[in-house]
Copies of this chain bind each other. A is one copy, B any other.
Amino acid sequence: MEESKLELEYVKELLEQRKYAELRDMLKDQNPIDVAQLLGEVPDEKLLLLYRMLPKEDAAEVFSEMEHDEQETLIRAFNDREIREVIEEMYVDDAVDMLEEMPAVVVNKILRHADVETRKEINELLKYPEDSAGSVMTTEYMSLKSDMTVADAFERIRRTADEKEDIYTCYVISPSRKLEGTVTLKEMFLTSKDTIIGDIMETNIISANTLDDQEKVAKDMAKYNLTTIPIVDQENRLVGIVTVDDAIDVIQEENTEDIEMMAAITPTDKPYISTGFFETYKKRIPWLLILMISATFTGAIITKYESALGKYVILTAYIPMLMDTGGNAGSQASVSIIRGISLDEIQFSDIFRIQGKEFLVALLCGATLAVANFAKLLFIDKVSVVIAAVVCATLLLTVIVAKFVGCSLPILAKKVGFDPAVMASPFITTIVDAISLFIYFQFASHILGI
C-alpha cells in the first residue's frame, strides 16, 4: 500500500512537469491491476490523459479493473474508437458488471458502439436477476463435441482460445447445446492425440442453474475446488461459466454482508470509503430506531420496580455490568452459530446438540463469572452478602439464558427463511437485557423482600 502511495506522488510530479515520455515508460512496466488502482487516485481531469499513455495492449485490461466511477468518467470522455476498442476487448461478464452500474445514457453510448454479436451477448446477460449465477457468468467458455479427437480439440482451442476467458476446463455439448461432460486440458495432454473426447470426458458434473444464488455457486466452487463451473438453463443447455476470480469476489461480498448485518447495518455492495455520509446514515438509522424502541421494554421493567429501586439504589450500580455481560455471552453464542450456518457446518437438525453444548458452556462461564464477581462484591465493593448473592445469582442465570437465546435464534431464523445474521449482537443484546433485568428484580424481590 505504501508503495502505491509513493508511486502516486511520483506520477503526479511527472504529470505536473509534463514529463510524458517518462510517465509512459513507467506505466508500461506495471501490472494492469496496479495501474487501475493508481488511476483511481489521480484527479478526474487527468484521467483521460493518463489512460491514453497506456500501452495499447494493456488499456482494455486496465479499464476493466477500474472502479465504476472512473470507468464512467472515461467513457463520457472517450471518442468513438476508444469506446469500441474497450467494449470489444473486455470480457463479457466484466462489461455487464460495468453496465449494470452505469446511467442509461452511458449504457446507450456504449452499446451503440459494440458490434452486433457483443451487443446481443451483453443484452442476454443483462436480463438475469441481480445476485443470480446468470448475472456473474461469462459466455466466453471453450466448448467441444464428444466425437472430436484430442487433436481436433487442440486445433479448435488454438483457433478460438484468444477470445475465451478460460480454456483449461472444456465443456462437451450436444448439437442442441446440452451439457454432456467436461474435460480438462491436463487430461487431454495426458492421453494420445487420437483419443475420442467422449471417451475421456467426466460425465458426473457439478453445475449450477442460471437462476441459482451466486453465493451458492461460489460456495460449491470452493467446496469442489473448481476454477470454473458450468451454468445451465432449465433445459440443461450450457449458457455460460463462472470463473473462480468472480467466485472469490462473491465470497468476500457475502462475508461483508454478513458482518454488516451482524452489526445492524443494511448491507450494500459499495465499499465504506466511497459511500457518502447520507447513504451511510440511511443504512444505519432504521436499525438504530428499531433497537431503540425495543430497548423501551427494558426501561418499562425498571419503571415497574421503581419504588424497590428507590429503597436499594445500590442495585442500579450493577445493571450495566449485568446487561453487558449478558449481551456479550449471548453474542458469543449467536455469532458462532451464524458463522457455522454460513459455512454450511450447522444444520437445523443439530439444534438440540448445540443447545446442550451451549448449556454446559454457559454453566461454566456463568459460574466462573459469578465466583469472580462475588469476591469482588464482598471484598472491594463491600456490599452485604445478600446483595452479592442477588447480583451473582442473576449473573449466572443471565449467562445461561443469553447463551440459550443466542444459539437458538439464528437456527430458528434460518429455518423460517430469515437471514440468521440478523440474530447477532444487537438483537440478542436487546432481548437479553430485558430478560436479565427481569431476573434481577425477581431475585431482588424474593431475597430482599421488596
Mark interface residues in A364-401 (1 if CB within 8 Å of B CB, else 0). Answer: 11001100110010000000000000000000000100
Q: Is A280 an interface residue, CB under 8 A from the partner?
A: yes
Chain copies in complex: 2
Query: Which residues of B lie under 8 Å from residue A278 when comparing CB positions?
Result: 364
Bits for A312-346, please: 1 = Cβ < 8 Å to B, else 0: 01101111110111011101101111011001111
A73 interfacial by beta-carbon distance below 8 Å: no
Interfacial chain B residues near A372, Cβ < 8 Å = 289, 292
Decide if B263 touches A335 in the complex (CB within 8 Å).
Answer: yes
Tell me whether A328 and B288 are in contact in the complex, defined as CB-CB below 8 angstroms, given that A161-B190, A320-B323 are known contacts. Answer: yes
Among residues of B, the one whose C-beta sits closest to the C-beta of A247 is: B248
Contact A332 B284 (CB under 8 A): yes
| A291 part of interface (Cβ distance < 8 Å) | yes
Query: Out of B260, B271, B357, which one reaches A335, CB within 8 Å?
Result: B260
Interchain CB contact under 8 A, A33 and B223: yes
**Cα(A322)–Cα(B104), bound, Å:** 45
**Are the C-beta atoms of B319 and A313 separated by less than 8 Å?**
no
Question: Contact size class for A?
Answer: 35 or more
Complex Cα–Cα for A140 and B277 (A): 50
In the complex, which of the residues A262, A284, A334, A350 has the most CB atoms of chain B within 10 Å of its own CB atom? A284
Contact of A244 among B167, B227, B364 (CB under 8 A): B227
A318: chain B residues within 8 A (beta carbon): 299
**Chain B residues positioned under 8 Å from A29 (CB to CB):** 204
Q: A349 to B350, alpha carbons, bound, how many Å?
A: 46
In chain B, what residue has the closest Cβ to A318?
B299
The answer to whether B373 touches A292, judged by C-beta atoms less than 8 angstroms apart, is: yes
* In the complex, A15 has a CB within 8 A of chain B: no
List residues of chain B with CB within 8 A of the CB of A225: 33, 245
Interface residue ranges of A262-300 to B (CB < 8 Å): 262-265, 271-273, 277-278, 280-281, 284-285, 287-289, 291-293, 295-296, 298-300
Complex contact B365–A288 (CB within 8 A): yes
Chain B residue numbers with a CB within 8 Å of A293 are: 376
Complex-state Cα separation, A434 to B156, whole angstroms: 70
- CB of A252 within 8 A of chain B? yes
Asked if residues A317 and B299 are in contact (CB atoms below 8 Å), the reply is yes
Q: Is the CB of B324 within 8 A of A292?
A: yes
| Given A323-B320, A343-B271: A361 touches B430 (CB 8 Å cut-off) | no
Give the CA-CA distance A402 to B303 in the complex, in Å.
26
Interface string of A29-55 (1 = CB under 8 A from B): 111010000000000000000000000
* Segment 399-436 of A: residues with Cβ below 8 Å from B: 399, 424-426, 429-430, 433
The answer to whether A248 and B263 have CB atoms under 8 Å apart is no
A357 to B179, CA, bound (A): 51
Whether B324 lies near A280 (C-beta < 8 A) is no
Whether the Cβ atoms of B433 and A273 lie closer than 8 Å is no
Quick check: is A352 within 8 A (CB to CB) of the other chain? Answer: no
Report Cα–Cα, A302/B252, bound state, in Å: 43
Q: How far is the CA of A35 from the CA of B399 in the complex (A)?
A: 40
Q: How far is the CB of A207 from chain B (nearest CB, A)?
A: 12
Answer yes or no: A1 CB below 8 A from chain B CBs: yes
Residues of chain B within 8 A of A339, CB atoms compared? 256, 259-260, 272
Inter-subunit contact A189/B168 (CB<8 Å) = no
Please list 6 pairs of residues, one from A and one from B, whose beta carbons are closer than 8 Å in the complex, sorted by A's number.
A227-B244, A272-B346, A277-B360, A277-B364, A295-B324, A324-B430
Interface residues of chain A, those whose CB is within 8 Å of chain B, are 1, 5, 29-31, 33, 154, 157-158, 161-162, 167-168, 185-186, 189-190, 204, 206, 222-225, 227, 244-245, 247-249, 251-252, 255-256, 258-260, 262-265, 271-273, 277-278, 280-281, 284-285, 287-289, 291-293, 295-296, 298-300, 302-303, 306-307, 309-310, 313-314, 316-321, 323-325, 327-329, 331-332, 334-337, 339-340, 343-347, 349-350, 354, 357, 360-361, 364-365, 368-369, 372-373, 376, 399, 424-426, 429-430, 433, 437
- Top 8 nearest A-B pairs (CB, nearest first) are A263-B335, A298-B320, A225-B245, A295-B321, A277-B360, A299-B317, A302-B317, A281-B364
